[in-house]
Structure 1
Amino acid sequence: MRQHLKEVKSLTGVRGVAAIIIAIYHFGSGIDGSSLFAGFHLTGAYLSVDAFFILSGFVLSYNYNNRFSNSLDKGDYIDFIIRRIARIYPAYIGFSAIYLSKMIVNISGDNPLRLFDFSDYVANAFMATGWGLGIHPIVGPSWSISAEMACYFIFPILLFTAQRHVRFMAFVAIGVMILAGNSGAGVNGALDIIDSRSVWPLIRAFGGFLTGFILFQIDRACRDRLTAILDGLLLSALAIGALLWILDASDLLKFVAIAMLIMGLTQDTPVARAMFGTKLVHYLGKISYSLYLCHALCIPVASRIGKILIPKIGMELAYCSTFMIYMLMIMSLASIAYPVLEVGGKKLALHLYGALTRKARRLPEAKA
């Protein structure tokens, strides 16, 4: 049986902050050159995606440690994969339909569907856009979700085998991130690795995922000793991270600061809750997946609004006005998508899976 554990609200909240940072980053830098505001962007904000990977590795280890640490049952493995698919697939398919409809209508006028062939549609349907196959994504930022999905398939095996070799796996995590950071595949920075023709995005995701697993093992082994220093670690991580961003330090050092920040949130201390566990921040964390999926959809709309506003009110005021409209759009869309596609879609998927498995169990009796 799966153990139901208490939610670490500050970890949920920091996921929401990361999603907002990505949304702001793409608003300024643009996706596919669609933004008018390329001069307004957050340098290095793409590392928020690495925060997603670390968080997923930690939270899944936290939730499934008791289930896979001592055994690797086939039924448990299938149940885990089904639950992960039910968690991310309905919203992904729902937004894929919206993005695809936009492409069919050809709002942008550049006929994006001309780039797609049959293999692209199949790979998008199976969420394989981040596996180094050179697939054109229907949902622009879906590469990271795809890469994380690949990590899900190996996660139970990792949890079962690597727990006995934690130190070795820590060195593997460090090595993987150093390799990724020195791959030369980054776009705007060493870890801004997103090329769909390369396996480096997948390696980047695995490194982050494995880092989250290591953080969980540290928390589990040293929980009592860590409690007294976590608030200091959290505040130090924020200060060090801010300094690293100001100095434009290497992405690998920033990655370490992000890992420190997440480590500082693992026990939901009063300081952690005050910063990342408030009602608003926690809500952002709950809808963070929908925020991540929908924000690229809203950027071209915001850009068109900006084109109308710039001649009338100037660049600075147009930016501020358009940014507020953009944030309102993504928050509204995500707030609708979360209960409908994420919560409702997950319930429906699990209900259908349960109905199919019950039917399959009855088939031999019917034949007899």
Structure 2
Amino acid sequence: MNNDLLGTKPHYQILDGLRGVAAIIVVCFHLTEPLASSRLDNVVNHGYLAVDFFFLLSGFVIGYAYDDRWDKLSISSFLRRRSERLHPLVVLGMTLGAIGFYFTDSPIWPLIDTVPVWKMIVVMLIGWTLLPVPLSMDIRGWFEMHPLNSVGWSLFYEYIANILYALGLRKLSNKALACFVVLAGAVLVHLAVTSPNGDVTGGWTLNTKHMRIGIIRTMFPFFGGLLLSRVARPIQIKNAFLWCSLLTAAVLLMPRIGGAANLWMNGLYEAFCIIIVFPLIVYIGASGVVQSKMEERICRLLGDLSYPLYMTHYVLVYFYVAWVSNHKGIKLWQAWPYALLTFSGAMVLAYASLKLYDEPVRAWLRKKMK
């Protein structure tokens, strides 16, 4: 989901901007989700596919940044660099989730008022490591592996992909990697088309079903992105950021396909987006050039905010979801002021997290790890 390029390689500014666009849509998805009557009518219906898009972006950027640097790089130094980039906000997100935990008490989370402080602190400390919390330590009642900051599950799989890359998959030839990616794509299609929900959602619970989904959702996009970074030959494309942003939004905002009667159709749509559309977006974005200083600033700001926004916004969404659950039957047109307030708060929190915490902590870590 992030990039920490070595040396002075040219920076993919448009890809940074697209990561920010996707992160904003994730926030919107989480704000409209509790207002939907079912998974069929969420206004931001496919917002969760942004996670798969992040995995593909991450694989592409990791390949671009590191594939030709292993003569100067050890596995431990690679993982240290990735931890330096990813982990400070993991710790912050879990800590903020712990601070707000008891203030989000609601009937939809039946366990909160029964959780002793010591148990919540233990869950927070486990969350700092990003290790999944077993179901026996569930303190919210949503069966999440990270109940203090729901989105932590995707970072868990991000780490798995990075570790697999470092330990050996980076050594695969392009042909071998292509075979791996094709196989992973076939498994992804099978999951999407046969899913009882008609989609690829899942991965956030520490059980066999969700772990299988999480691994499948990670393997194709991450290593597909890695393969794309090796074989793509970018060309200059004008207005790439605009077109890629519109295409990303169109994919993630697309209404449910097929309805309840043809769930497989929606699954097929999602597989098509992950396997075909997302790589196309990344290729176009990597081929594009920023058109103006203003576009450059927008891409830089969106890129800077994308990871802090993703890792801290759900702390505020918990409060919003509790409010919605206490106003049964409320509609979007009634809830929009509260949704807008939560969205604005998430953006402010992300910027504050970036400037007051993430950047200073990473600078300190870089000095300590030299």
Fold shared per TM-score above 0.5: yes
Aligned to 1:129: 132
Aligned to 1:286: 304
CA gap of 1:316–1:90, structure 2 versus 1, over 3 A, is closer
Q: Is the 8 A contact 2:158 2:218 kept in 1?
A: yes
Q: Distance in 2 between matches of 1:106 and 1:329?
A: 17
Q: Is the 8 A contact 1:237 1:260 kept in 2?
A: no
Aligned to 1:59: 61
Describe the SS at the equivalent of 1:6.
coil
Q: Distance in 2 between matches of 1:334 and 1:47?
A: 21
Q: Distance in 1 between matches of 2:249 and 2:347?
A: 30
2:75 maps to which of 77, 81, 84: 77
CA gap of 1:67–1:172, structure 2 versus 1, over 3 A, is farther
Q: CA deviation at 1:279?
A: 2.6
Normalized against structure 2, the TM-score is what? 0.76
CA gap of 1:41–1:228, structure 2 versus 1, over 3 A, is closer
Q: CA deviation at 1:121?
A: 5.4
Structure with higher helix content = 1
Q: Is the 8 A contact 2:59 2:226 kept in 1?
A: yes
Q: Is the 8 A contact 1:16 1:288 kept in 2?
A: yes
Q: Distance in 2 between matches of 1:266 and 1:83?
A: 23
Q: CA deviation at 1:24?
A: 0.3
Describe the SS at the equivalent of 2:24.
helix
User: Is 1:94 matched up with 2:92?
Assistant: yes
Q: Distance in 1 between matches of 2:149 and 2:286?
A: 31
Aligned to 1:16: 20
CA gap of 1:167–1:107, structure 2 versus 1, over 3 A, is closer
2:183 maps to which of 145, 166, 172: 172
Aligned to 2:314: 296
Aligned to 2:139: none
Q: Which amino acid aligns with 1:160?
A: K
Aligned to 1:362: none
Q: Is the 8 A contact 2:36 2:43 kept in 1?
A: no
Per-residue CA distance 1:311-335 (angstroms, 9 max, x = gap)? 9xx9555433222212210110000
Q: Distance in 2 between matches of 1:296 and 1:237?
A: 25
Aligned to 1:358: none
Q: Is the 8 A contact 2:89 2:358 kept in 1?
A: yes
Q: Distance in 2 between matches of 1:324 and 1:237?
A: 22
Normalized against structure 1, the TM-score is what? 0.76
Aligned to 2:115: 114
Q: CA deviation at 1:215?
A: 1.4
Deviating more after overlay: 157-166 vs 55-64: 157-166
Q: Distance in 1 between matches of 2:75 and 2:172?
A: 14
User: Is 1:262 matched up with 2:282?
Assistant: yes
Q: Which amino acid aligns with 2:77?
A: D
Aligned to 2:247: 238
Q: Distance in 2 between matches of 1:99 and 1:117?
A: 10
CA gap of 1:228–1:322, structure 2 versus 1, over 3 A, is closer
Q: Is the 8 A contact 2:25 2:249 kept in 1?
A: no
Q: CA RMSD in A?
A: 4.0
Q: CA deviation at 1:193?
A: 2.0
CA gap of 1:101–1:155, structure 2 versus 1, over 3 A, is same
1:211 maps to which of 224, 233, 253: 224
Q: Distance in 2 between matches of 1:213 and 1:237?
A: 24
Q: Distance in 2 between matches of 1:335 and 1:236?
A: 21
Q: Distance in 1 between matches of 2:248 and 2:348?
A: 32
Q: Is the 8 A contact 1:16 1:282 kept in 2?
A: no
Aligned to 2:260: none
Q: Distance in 2 between matches of 1:131 and 1:203?
A: 21
User: Is 1:28 matched up with 2:32?
Assistant: yes
Q: CA deviation at 1:57?
A: 0.3
Describe the SS at the equivalent of 1:287.
helix
Q: Is the 8 A contact 1:230 1:265 kept in 2?
A: no
Q: Which amino acid aligns with 2:273?
A: K
User: Is 1:192 matched up with 2:201?
Assistant: yes
**Runs of at least 5 residues in structure 1 that lack an aligned partner in the other structure:** 355-368
Describe the SS at the equivalent of 2:287.
coil
2:8 maps to which of 4, 11, 16: 4
Describe the SS at the equivalent of 1:66.
coil
Q: CA deviation at 1:253?
A: 1.4
Q: Distance in 2 between matches of 1:84 and 1:336?
A: 22
Deviating more after overlay: 3-12 vs 174-183: 174-183
Q: Distance in 1 between matches of 2:322 and 2:133?
A: 29
Q: Is the 8 A contact 1:4 1:63 kept in 2?
A: no
Q: Is the 8 A contact 1:241 1:254 kept in 2?
A: no
Aligned to 1:360: none
2:148 maps to which of 138, 159, 184: 138
Q: Distance in 2 between matches of 1:151 and 1:235?
A: 25
Q: Is the 8 A contact 1:54 1:212 kept in 2?
A: yes
Deviating more after overlay: 147-156 vs 240-249: 240-249
